[in-house]
Amino acid sequence: MAEEVVLLNFWPSIFGMRTMIALEEKGVKYEYREEDVINNKSLMLLEMNPIHKKIPVLIHNGKPVCESIIQVQYIDEVWSDKNPFLPTDPYQRAQALFWADFIEKKLCVCGRRAWTTKGEELEATNKEFLELLKILQSELGDKPYFGGAKFGFVDIIMIGFYCWFPAYDKFGNFSIESECCKLMAWGKRCMERESVAKSLPDPEKVVGYVLQLK
């Protein structure tokens, strides 16, 4: 039976990028629908994600899966025959989930604050943001990817930030390349993958989007 896969997304969303990359990695064909989340959320979005009313929403054979980390796990489990994202060992899986949770709970939350604060609070936010990136860089260590030799779950969860780095640099008045060059190298390595290159927007477009918001 042909699988019907639809993704409701908003192009600058780091969260949506995760799901797109996961689908591309598995070679899953899907219909992409752009949502105007700022002005006009579609009835479909409100129906498919009544609790949070947020993108991305993955709709598989008419049934919605919400929250990007959950979507990536779902995609890994349904299309399990190729490119596994998570390790099979339970302890290694728990470590991967831990780092995804860290990115979600700490980095995403801090990153969001960078756009809504100013003055001293913004300075503190920027400082924290760089510290969090350094923690992630430490975790990466000398490995080519977060999972080790292969591109995997944590890489998928984190890589969307790469196209946002120039925007953070510009408005944070710092240089992520100077502060975290190994992390930037990791980003460039990931960008060589077709799934990633296809799913991340042009960083200049992201800068333009942020300028529009501010």
Partner 1 sequence: MAEEVILLDYWPSMFGMRTKMALAEKGVTYEYKETDPWVKTPLLIEMNPIHKKIPVLIHKGKPICESLIQLEYIDEVWSDSYPMLPSDPYQKAQARFWGDFIDKKFYDPSWKVWGTKGEEQVAAKKELLEHFKTLETELGDKPYYGGEVFGYVDIALMGYYSWFIAMEKFGDFSIETEFPVLTQWTKRCLARESVVKALADPDKIIEYANILRKKFGAE
Rounded to the nearest whole angstrom, what is the least distance from the CB of residue 102 to partner 1 in the complex?
6
Residues 159-188 contacting partner 1, CB under 8 A: none
CB 205 within 8 A of CB 16: no
Q: Is 66 in the site for partner 1 (CB under 8 A)?
A: yes
Rule CB under 8 A: choose which of 1, 43, 82, 91 binds partner 1.
91
Residues 117-156 contacting partner 1, CB under 8 A: 135
Rule CB under 8 A: choose which of 38, 43, 63, 214 binds partner 1.
63
Rule CB under 8 A: choose which of 28, 37, 44, 97 binds partner 1.
97
Query: Which span (22-30, 57-65, 183-191, 195-203) binds partner 1, by CB under 8 A?
Result: 57-65
Query: Which span (5-13, 19-27, 38-46, 70-78) binds partner 1, by CB under 8 A?
Result: 70-78
Rounded to the nearest whole angstrom, what is the least distance from the CB of residue 94 to partner 1 in the complex?
5
Q: 40 - beta bridge partners?
A: 36
Query: Residues in the site for partner 1, rule: CB under 8 A?
Result: 51, 60, 63, 65-67, 70-71, 73-74, 77-78, 90-91, 93-94, 97-98, 101-102, 135
